C-alpha cells in the first residue's frame, strides 16, 4: 500500500476519530498513527498480517475501540494496559497464548473478544475488570476453568469449542453472569458443578456437544431452579 493512500486515511481519521484499514496486507502497525494519538477513538486494522503491536499503542489514551482480528499477533505489549478509556477490544483469530500481566488495568473494558487464539486457561486478569459485559474465549485450547472465575463480572461468557474437562464450582458465584456457553467441550456430566443450576444467576446454559446427553442434565438436582430463571428471562425479552 502506497504512502499517499495511507496519508489519505490519516487525513480522514484526523477529522472523524476513526482509523480503519482492513484487508490491506499490512505487516506492521502504521507508526504514523501516533501523530493522531490524541484524536483517535477507534482503530480497526483487522484482516492484515501484523505480528507485533508496538509499545506506542500506550499513547492512544482516548481510544475506545481497538480491533485487530485475523492478524498474526503472538503477544500483546504491557503498554496496551494504559488505555484507560478502552471499552471494546477485538483480537479474534490471532496466536495469543496469554494476556499482559497488567491487563486488569483496562478499567473501562466492556467487550473482549479473543476467539480463535491459543489460550490454555481463562486469564485470571479478567477478574479485575469491573465493567466487563461480554467475554468471548471460544475456539481456544482452554482445558480448565480456574477458581478466579468466581470474581468475573461479565454478563456473558463464551467458552464454546475449547477442551474444557474441569470447571471450578466458583463459577456459580459470578455476580452478574447470565449466559454461559460451553458447547463442544470435553465435559462429563459429573464435572459440571450442580450449583450452576441450583445456586447461580445463570439463566442460559448452553452445553450441547459435550460427553453427555442433554436429557441427563434435566435429571440433575437444581435443574428446575435453572428452568425458572431461564423462563423468567425469556418472558422478559419476549
**What is the SS3 string spanning 166-198?**
EECHHHHHCCCCCEEECCCCCCCHHHCCCHHHH
Question: At which residue does the C-alpha cell 499503542 appear?
Answer: 57
Q: pLDDT tens-digit profile of 157-210?
A: 999 999 999 999 999 999 999 999 999 999 999 999 999 999 999 999 999 999
Entry pTM: 0.96
Contacts of 37 (CB under 8 A, 6+ apart): 56, 59, 60, 61
The dihedral formed by the CA atoms of 127, 65, 117 and 70, expressed in degrees to the nearest 10:
180
Q: Domain map of the chain by residue range?
A: 53-236
**Is it the case that residue 65 has pLDDT exceeding 90?**
yes
pLDDT of residue 5: 79
Alpha-carbon distance 62 to 87, whole Å? 10
CATH number of 53-236: 3.80.10.10
Alpha helices in the chain (DSSP H): 3-16, 195-198, 214-217, 223-237
Please give the average per-residue pLDDT across 49-58, as a whole number.
98
CA distances 211 to 33, 122, 134, 145, 165, Å, are 49, 21, 26, 17, 9
Amino acid at each position: 500500500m502506497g504512502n499517499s493512500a495511507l496519508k489519505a486515511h490519516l487525513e480522514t481519521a484526523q477529522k472523524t476519530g476513526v482509523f480503519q484499514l482492513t484487508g490491506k496486507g499490512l505487516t506492521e502497525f502504521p507508526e504514523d498513527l501516533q501523530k493522531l494519538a490524541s484524536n483517535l477513538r477507534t482503530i480497526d486494522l483487522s484482516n492484515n498480517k501484523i505480528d507485533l503491536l508496538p509499545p506506542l499503542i500506550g499513547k492512544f489514551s482516548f481510544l475506545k475501540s481497538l480491533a485487530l482480528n485475523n492478524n498474526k499477533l503472538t503477544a500483546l505489549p504491557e503498554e496496551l494496559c494504559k488505555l484507560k478509556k478502552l471499552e471494546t477490544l477485538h483480537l479474534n483469530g490471532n496466536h495469543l497464548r496469554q494476556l499482559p500481566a497488567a491487563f486488569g488495568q483496562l478499567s473501562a473494558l466492556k467487550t473482549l473478544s479473543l476467539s480463535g487464539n491459543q489460550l490454555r486457561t481463562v486469564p485470571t486478569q479478567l477478574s479485575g475488570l469491573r465493567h466487563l459485559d461480554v467475554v468471548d474465549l471460544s475456539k481456544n485450547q482452554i482445558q480448565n476453568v480456574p477458581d478466579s472465575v468466581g470474581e468475573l463480572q461479565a454478563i456473558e461468557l463464551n467458552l464454546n469449542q475449547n477442551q474444557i474437562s474441569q470447571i471450578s464450582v466458583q463459577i456459580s458465584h459470578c455476580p452478574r453472569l447470565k449466559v454461559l456457553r460451553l458447547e463442544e467441550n470435553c465435559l462429563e456430566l459429573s464435572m459440571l458443578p450442580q450449583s450452576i443450576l441450583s445456586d447461580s444467576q445463570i439463566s442460559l446454559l448452553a452445553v450441547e456437544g459435550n460427553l453427555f446427553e442433554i436429557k441427563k442434565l434435566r435429571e440433575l438436582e437444581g435443574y428446575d431452579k435453572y428452568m425458572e430463571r431461564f423462563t423468567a428471562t425469556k418472558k422478559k425479552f419476549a
